[in-house]
Structure 1
Amino acid sequence: MRFTDWLWQQGIDWLNTTPRPEDFSALCNFEFLEREIRPADVLLFAGQSRVSKVIQTVVLSPWTHAALYIGRLNDIRDPKARSRLAAYYDGDASEPLVIESLLGKGTVVTPLRHYRNEHLRICRPASLTWQDADKVVNFGIEHLGMGYDVRQLLDLARFIFPYAILPRCWRSSLFQHNAGQPTHIVCSSMIARCFQQVHYPILPIVHNAQQDEVRFYERNFRLITPSDFDYSPYFSVIKYPAWNTGREPAYRTLPWHQDKEDFHELVNKIPAAIPEPSGYAPDETAITAHLADGTGRTGQRQRLVGLRTLFRQAGLVSFARSLH
């Protein structure tokens, strides 16, 4: 392995690392999700890795990753698609599977149970026919083996971020037209291509050509982010709280903390704040919410502050100081 390849792999491993993983299994009923999810559903993830935190900063959304649920190997009706899927997955044929594009791995197939402890959300294409759902799944299977497009991820960040050293469209991979199928892709773009294959809308551009004439235009699939499936009016959002079973209303069965202590007395017992030492710099992400000036600049400020904090955590103080 060349030194540059080794260095690249070390950087990918660092970005994919989760410093302090959280377990969401106490909040979410994974068994309910597993029963309710259908082929062609989009699964959103609130990632916890370092690269997920960067994506959250750029897109201003907790949803940092998306996967396409394809069902079980036995559920695939098309023989060609089933054969291709079997070439990339040799596990139990009755295992629920998703297709996703991952940094450092490319487009792969993963068992759904792998994400049991993650914060997930189902986005369902509400009016998609079962015939088109099969086409979406089959087209997703065609993407297996593709590499992860790191360049597209960086160009998307440059396009969305309000401050750019280089012009946003200069030498950008987002607006290049390549004949044929791409060889590298990111998670949400891969899924967007699958739905565009059957002309199912995500967040289309609507143009009123005349008074009684409306035209829909498909967005560039490279500009689709995971949160767009959450925002789309053409996808139903399905949630699965852990306490949602039985005939009695679920909120009545929640295990609330029952303590005779008055809440105000509990608050009064909180120790007084410790004076800040000289030269102390507060975490800017904690005070960003108070910087809104009503002019629409809050989102830009949040992205800038988030990147400065990320650079400080990575030890790149000089980069953090250069962002103003």
Structure 2
Amino acid sequence: MLLYTRLKNLVWNRLVHWLTYEPPDFQTPLTSFERMRYELRPGDIVLVEGRSKVADIIKSITQSMWTHSFLYIGRLHDVDDPSLRDRIQQHRHCSPDEQLIIEAFLGKGIIVSALSDYEGEHMRICRPRGITRHDSQAVIRYAIMELGLDYDMRQIMDLARFMFPYWFIPKRWRSSLFEHNTGKPTRTVCSTMIAEAFAHVRFPIIPVLHHDKHGRLKLIRRNSKLITPRDFDHSPYFDVIKYPVLDFDELGIYRKLPWDQTGVHCTDIGDCFYSDPAEIERLTPPQPTDSIHLDIVEPEVDNVIDAEINSEEDSNAGRRYRQ
């Protein structure tokens, strides 16, 4: 029995590593991590575009680029309750100025992590509109109390079964999405945990709207197990905060962006092609003289030699004039 348990754990750990491995990303992020760090407020939700195998599965299930979500709780001093700060310290030894998040991660469960772990990733901030500080702290409290729960991989599989558009796949049969447990759940996933935290303070995400027989509108809470990262992006009750590397603070500054003038079109890094020259001339506006330059353009060798010759001739002419 002990050998079977060890073998099962070994296979599971290898599978988790294969599913969660993030290949390196060689593309330059479109967003500024430094700007994001200063933009975040405790209680914000951050969406992440992952690159792992399990992220690809979630993309296929949800038809969305956002595969992961986590709750930003700020620094230790941003958590009002001292007992909650102690609970955070029990799960992670962190410095007072470290920015912290709570997330559900396959193979680790509900954990507290550093925001800096996601530097260089493509992310988006979703801010609950109009939430009070008291309720924001209540959301953070709920998430902190969930620390230590396991990740529910079965829920991901049942969600895939529920969302696949094929009639012959049983969507509800023995599905964990529609089970009602009277006790406290021991497993969850990232979006469900966050959805439950906001439902705790009756803050809507994607509620079901219903008119009763008297015509009065009622909001009905949606099943939290059906909430995915894209729902925070689509929710009308969350503001989307963007933080591009190049910001358009100045009116018309987009006209000064350093667009390439060679006519190269790219699908991705390393996947580029040249367009028809006539089409290039028609679609590409002339580059403004005061455009933004992100790199230093080295002069050509011939131009440097010509400049040195002209400079030497001017110097000789000056000496002849003084004589």
Give your verdict on TM over 0.5: yes
The counterpart of 2:238, out of the listed 215, 230, 235, is 235
- Cα separation, 2, equivalents of 1:157 and 1:266: 40
**RMSD (Å), alpha carbons:** 2.1
In structure 2, C-alpha distance between the alignment counterparts of 1:67 and 1:163, rounded to whole Å: 31
Structure-2 separation of matches of 1:262 and 1:156: 41
Please tell me the residue identity of whatever aligns with 2:161: R
**Structure with more relative contact order (C-alpha pairs < 8 Å, separation 6 or more):** 1
Q: Say yes or no: does 1:197 pair with 2:200.
A: yes
Whole-Å separation in 2 of the counterparts to 1:73 and 1:24: 31
Deviation at 1:114, TM superposition (A): 1.1
Partner secondary structure for residue 275 of structure 2: helix
**Which aligned runs of 4 or more in structure 1 are off by greater than 6 angstroms?**
none
Instruction: Name 1:176's counterpart in structure 2.
Output: 179
Cα 1:51–1:197 change in 2 (3 A) is same
1:4 pairs with 2, 8, 14, which one? Answer: 8
Shift of 1:248: 6.0
2:51 matched to 1:48? yes
Whether the aligned pair in 2 keeps the contact of 1:243 and 1:250 (CA below 8 Å) is no
Q: Which amino acid aligns with 1:267?
A: S
Match of 1:108 in 2: 111
Counterparts of 2:26 and 2:130, CA distance in 1 = 35
CA-CA distance at 1:65 after TM superposition: 0.5
1:103-127 Cα deviation digits (max 9, x unpaired): 1111111111111110000011011
- Bigger CA radius of gyration: 2
Which residue, out of 18, 34, 55, partners 1:14?
18
How many percent of aligned residue pairs carry the same amino acid?
Answer: 44
Alignment-derived partner of residue 154 in structure 1: 157
Question: Structure 2: any 5+ residue segments left out of the alignment?
Answer: 266-272, 278-323
Aligned-partner Cα distance in 1 for 2:118–2:253? 24
Deviates more, 1:210-219 or 1:111-120: 210-219
Number of matched residues? 266
Q: CA–CA distance in 2 between the matches of 1:205 and 1:161?
A: 21
Q: Deviations over 1:130-177 (max 9, x none)?
A: 110000011111111110001111111111112366521111111111
1:144 aligns with 2:152: no
* TM-fit CA distance, 1:4: 1.5
* 1:133 aligns to 2:132 (yes or no): no
TM-score by length of 1: 0.77
Q: Structure 1 stretches of 5 or more lacking a match? A: 270-324
Alignment match, 1:317: none
